[in-house]
Structure 1
Amino acid sequence: MIRHILFLLISLQPILLLGQYDIKNLEKELDLLLDKEEQYHQIRLEKINKLKNNLLFKRNSTQKSLFDIHYQLFEQYQKFQSDSALTYIYKCQEIIGQENDSLRIKLQLDLAHLYSTKGRYLEANEILKNISPQTIPVMLLVKYYDTYLAFYSHYGQSNNNNIYYRQSELYRDSLLQYLDPNAISYQIEIATRDIFAGNRKKAIEALEYILQNKNNTGEYTALVSYLLGIAYKQENNPEKQKYYVLRSAIEDIKNANKDNASLQDLALIYYGEENFDRAFKLIDKAIKDAIYCDVRYRIIEGTTFYPIINASYQAKINAQNKKLLFNLVLISVLTVVLIAGIIFIIKQMNKLSAIRSQLSQTNSQLLQMNRQIHKNNIELSEANHIKEEYIAQFFDMCSSYIEKIDVLRKDVIKKANSNQIKELIAELKSTKVIEDEVAELYHNFDTIFLNLYPSFIEDFNSLLREEEIILPKKNELLNTELRIFALIRLGIDDSVKIASFLRYSLRTVYNYRTKVRNKAIGDREEFENLVKKIGNIDRK
């Protein structure tokens, strides 16, 4: 009998360890993704920039083509950066005007959804009140009820009022009447309703089926995993809750989805496990994502839990510091005792043993110091590499100018000695040399500046209206307007200094600056401050 029980336990051990093993693997994957999250962020930006580049080549395309690209940009920004999403919704509205009622209503619903995400509930409510479900096309009823559902859900999360949660569930019922029963979105909405209605086992079965059917999951993986985490939390199954919330968080990071709930929920799970390091790291990222995307209800939720997690995290740090201090004192006492013992022993040893001991200690310290110096030298070498490159270029330019001045001096002496006064005067009056040198100076400046800020032209034009972008000619690196604002980016914003450098009149420089400011997308008074931030990671 005992042998049968032992055999059964041994057989079940892999199954019992499977959940824990998967969670550990998912935690490793999450840590790896958090370290590389900037790469996924850049991938999302590359998709957006590709669409923006398409706009540059399709400025004269059909209205439909322009609308499609602007709407794709809105969709890319929707869960990434809501302010930019708002900009492209406005542009979509400008493109279609009042001609297409169906598209106009669709954009109004998108705008209402975006407003509720950003916490602009009055504006969202005003839009929704002005849209009657009896007057909109049937194909937009799904979007209409989904928008109302999101509006009341966001509003409920902002003030934690169950009245609005109940209202959102009523709109979910209306939404389900118009969704295709065979669609994944219908199955997810049904499962979501079952979760909040208490039919959790039915919801779990449906959601796990969707997740296992990999051909149908795709973009829904993060959402379905998150809903399973909620269901298992209500089922008091913390292991499976953690497993699915981890999967949801991993998908959110891979998609650079800044409007996410998984990181915050995961932070609370680790807080409950008293893993305060992970909890703090995740809640900090969750809040940063919410702020970057400007999702108000996420910010409110995150900042509610942040002080609690931060307090526990700081308490842990303080406890560790106290422990370190205690260990330091203990080590210090032991060191004193050890030194006293060494002194006693040294007195009993002959001079040769004392010298060898001292040399051994000194060599050990020198080796450690040499390693530290070597490490510091490597860091300094890397830090100074760029400086050395441009210092070398500066000396090369200076040497070139000295050589040219010397050649000019010799030429002047030669002509003076040969009494070629007329030729000498003609040469001195000629401005060709100055013009050539100025052109070379500007070329060197343009080259060095674009090496420092390779995306300057693209970033600069992103601050201007589409029809007003400034591009250099075929054989130019920078033109006059770009060069003026390149100097401003370097901190030279005094028109007198700019005029002196570019050899223009003060009025000309002033006119250029004013003309370009008038082309700005946003506030003209803030335009030059935005130019000064070009090249900074956190410019947005």
Structure 2
Amino acid sequence: MTNPFIYRKLSALFLLFIAFGNVYSKNKEMEQLFSRLDSVLTNSEKYVLEKEDKIEELRKKQSMPLKPEEKLWLNKMLYDEYFVYNADSAMVYVNNNIEIAGVLGRKDKEQEWLLHKVFLLTAQGLLNEAEKELLNVDIASLSKENMYQYYDTKIYLYSHLVQFIGNRLELTNSYYNLEKEFKHEAKKYITPDHPSYYSFCASLHREYPRSAEGDSIKLKLKDIVDKSSLSTRVDAINSYMLAIMFYNEGDEDNYVKYLIYSAIADIKICNRDIASLEELSNILYLREDIDRGYTYISYCFKAALLYPNRVRVINISTVMDKLQQAYRERNKIQESKLRKSLYTTSILSIVLLISILLIYFQFRKLSRSRKKLNESNRLLNSHVKELSEAQRMLGEVNGELSEVNEKLKVINNQLLESNYVKEEYIGYVFSICSNYITKLEEYRKNISRKLKAGQIDDIQSLTSNITMVQSELKEFYHSFDAIFLHVYPDFVKDFNSLLRPEEKIMLKEGELLNTELRIYALVRLGINDSIKIAEFLHCSPQTVYNNRLKTRNKAIIPKEEFTETVRSLGKMQK
């Protein structure tokens, strides 16, 4: 008969053996995954060269004669290659397509590429510019698919804003709530055939515990990821969202596994805005795998600088600081071990040779660590210089904005002056028209009376007399002069200041303006055509031309600047 005590001991040992086997199996699988990622990371330059070759082939097509629609499509292909690889280059093709869409009158395409522009600005960390550009999007011109893109872009922007503001809890919660609202709006427009459908649904059901629908989404997404080639951006995003779902369940092994999948896909597509590898480096830091973590974060840092992504650089710098601190602490421990080794060699002379070799290898390891630390410091200094340059550029932009504001003030003053002059002259014209209508009525009545009285000779004498016309012209010019000088009282003085002292215009007694001044008064009002001026003054265009030429010859300023200077003369009197 079997002893129960022995049976229980054997059962416990068996269970312990199974548990140990499972742990060993999981650790082995995890190490294989990390080794696979290390291999892909080692070949990252190969993937970059392949991408550059593909881009070069597309660039060659730009020299071909293409229709605007074909240029639009070629630019899209180049954008697809660049948008996670080099934001500055991608922005060139975005702006080109916005311009082409405008020329073609394709409002829908113009708005679509405007959304791509917002994405790139956000990806670079230019969050204020991205928010401003988003306000320019005409939602009414967006298709159903572009409406999803619109809300997806807003989600992307606000997720970056959350990263940027750091630990300000109230603002963070506000942005999270807005992000949730945008997701629910986006859900109305995305369809199951959309490449991002399951990753988007995963973002809606990322929290745990989740609904049956959320569990179904996770299983479907897992099936998609496990069957994927891990070579597209969709694969990278799907893997990342699946990792987040496992993380919220507390399943760290699968969380790390699918982060590795996401990082592999990102490296293969040369994505330089690579969040998954950054998270892995932080996990490795917590697991005290400093060397591998530092390798990953260094790759992320260089990629972020090349992209460039300012928000990502700031976040990566935080992780790098922790890894550097870990390096320093490890170096202290190593130095302590070295000291102990030296003490031991003084006591144990028999093992002197072994101790010397140990110290030699330890120093080599320490030297490599310090070199990595120095390289890290160099990269950080480079980052600081970039930030300084960004601040300088911001200052220049602010200066340009101030200059634009000053120009707007000048234009506003000119508009005020133009409106005031129009008001004065409209009143003046109405008054003259009214007076002439009254005079014409009197003239008609006078003619009518003389016709009834049979005074034909008087009528002939009256209609042949040019004195009345001259008198009316004189009165018209006098009224024009008066209203002009009412608006610009300093015009004559300012005009004379442009002439040589001996050529200054001296007006006769009772004369407000003479013909020469009247010509340039019309120029001041914006009438520059000599024919129109001649019609106004009842003289020939040649007379006006000669008069203007004569006056310009009297000027103390260059002749070609004279007319433009006259347009700005005279302080307006209100």
Do they superpose with TM above 0.5?
Answer: yes
Displacement of 1:332 in angstroms is: 6.3
What aligned pairs does 1:282-301 form with structure 2 within 5 A after superposition?
282-301=296-315
Q: What corresponds to 1:158 in structure 2?
A: 164
Displacement of 1:37 in angstroms is: 1.5
Displacement of 1:228 in angstroms is: 2.4
- 8 Å CA contact retained: 1:116, 1:124: yes
> The residue matched to 1:181 in structure 2 has which SS?
coil
1:101-159, Cα deviation, whole Å (9 max, x unpaired): 11111111111111111122222222222224234333421111111111111112211
1:181-237, Cα deviation, whole Å (9 max, x unpaired): 354522221211111475288646523422323667863222222222222222222
Q: Distance in 1 between matches of 2:351 and 2:72?
A: 80
Q: Distance in 2 between matches of 1:204 and 1:249?
A: 24
Q: Say whether residues 1:29 and 2:40 are aligned partners.
A: no
Q: What corresponds to 1:90 in structure 2?
A: 95
1:88-113, Cα deviation, whole Å (9 max, x unpaired): 21222233334311111111111111
- 8 Å CA contact retained: 2:86, 2:306: yes
Q: What corresponds to 2:321 in structure 1?
A: 307
Q: Distance in 2 between matches of 1:102 and 1:338?
A: 79
Q: What corresponds to 1:149 in structure 2?
A: 155
Structure 2: state its 5+ residue gaps. 1-6, 167-171, 354-574
Q: Say whether residues 1:179 and 2:193 are aligned partners.
A: no
1:294-350, Cα deviation, whole Å (9 max, x unpaired): 1222122111222112111222133224323543554466558869xxxxxxxxxxx
Q: What corresponds to 1:269 in structure 2?
A: 283
Q: 1:181 to 1:217 in 2, by over 3 A?
A: farther
Q: 1:327 to 1:89 in 2, by over 3 A?
A: same
Q: What corresponds to 1:231 in structure 2?
A: 245
Q: Say whether residues 1:63 and 2:68 are aligned partners.
A: yes
> The residue matched to 1:180 in structure 2 has which SS?
coil
Displacement of 1:268 in angstroms is: 1.0
Displacement of 1:174 in angstroms is: 0.7
Q: 1:122 aligns with which of 116, 119, 128?
A: 128
Instruction: Give the letter for the 1:92 counterpart.
Output: N
- 8 Å CA contact retained: 1:176, 1:186: no
Q: 2:268 aligns with which of 254, 258, 275?
A: 254
Same amino acid, percent of matched pairs? 25
Instruction: Give the letter for the 1:90 counterpart.
Output: N
> The residue matched to 1:288 in structure 2 has which SS?
helix
Instruction: Give the letter for the 2:278 counterpart.
Output: Q
1:15-51, Cα deviation, whole Å (9 max, x unpaired): 6554333211111111222222111121121211121
> The residue matched to 2:272 in structure 1 has which SS?
coil
- 8 Å CA contact retained: 2:221, 2:242: no
Q: 1:319 to 1:290 in 2, by over 3 A?
A: same
Instruction: Give the letter for the 1:230 counterpart.
Output: I
Q: What corresponds to 1:167 in structure 2?
A: 178
Displacement of 1:170 in angstroms is: 1.0
Of 74-83 and 318-327, the range deviating more from structure 2:
318-327
- 8 Å CA contact retained: 1:192, 1:203: no
- 8 Å CA contact retained: 1:210, 1:217: no
- 8 Å CA contact retained: 2:345, 2:351: no
Q: Distance in 2 between matches of 1:300 and 1:232?
A: 27
- 8 Å CA contact retained: 2:236, 2:266: yes
**Could you tell me the TM-score, scaled by structure 2's length?**
0.54
Q: Distance in 2 between matches of 1:321 and 1:201?
A: 55
Q: Which has the larger radius of gyration?
A: 2
Q: What corresponds to 1:431 in structure 2?
A: none
Q: 1:43 to 1:329 in 2, by over 3 A?
A: farther
Q: Say whether residues 1:112 and 2:126 are aligned partners.
A: no
Instruction: Give the letter for the 1:312 counterpart.
Output: A
- 8 Å CA contact retained: 1:51, 1:73: yes
Structure 1: state its 5+ residue gaps. 340-540
Q: What corresponds to 1:101 in structure 2?
A: 107
1:471-518, Cα deviation, whole Å (9 max, x unpaired): xxxxxxxxxxxxxxxxxxxxxxxxxxxxxxxxxxxxxxxxxxxxxxxx
Q: 1:47 aligns with which of 51, 54, 79?
A: 54
Q: Distance in 2 between matches of 1:207 and 1:47?
A: 34
Q: 1:327 to 1:13 in 2, by over 3 A?
A: closer
- 8 Å CA contact retained: 1:98, 1:104: no
Instruction: Give the letter for the 2:264 counterpart.
Output: I
Q: Distance in 2 between matches of 1:236 and 1:181?
A: 28
- 8 Å CA contact retained: 1:188, 1:207: no
What aligned pairs does 1:494-513 form with structure 2 within 5 A after superposition?
none
Q: 1:236 to 1:337 in 2, by over 3 A?
A: closer
- 8 Å CA contact retained: 1:80, 1:293: yes
What aligned pairs does 1:519-530 form with structure 2 within 5 A after superposition?
none
> The residue matched to 2:99 in structure 1 has which SS?
helix
Q: Distance in 1 between matches of 2:140 and 2:352?
A: 89
> The residue matched to 2:205 in structure 1 has which SS?
helix
> The residue matched to 2:55 in structure 1 has which SS?
helix
Q: 1:173 to 1:41 in 2, by over 3 A?
A: same
Instruction: Give the letter for the 1:67 counterpart.
Output: L
Q: 1:242 to 1:215 in 2, by over 3 A?
A: closer
Q: 2:257 aligns with which of 233, 243, 250?
A: 243
Q: Distance in 2 between matches of 1:277 and 1:74?
A: 35
- 8 Å CA contact retained: 1:191, 1:202: no
**Could you tell me the TM-score, scaled by structure 1's length?**
0.57
- 8 Å CA contact retained: 1:200, 1:231: no
Q: 1:101 to 1:337 in 2, by over 3 A?
A: closer
- 8 Å CA contact retained: 1:258, 1:293: yes
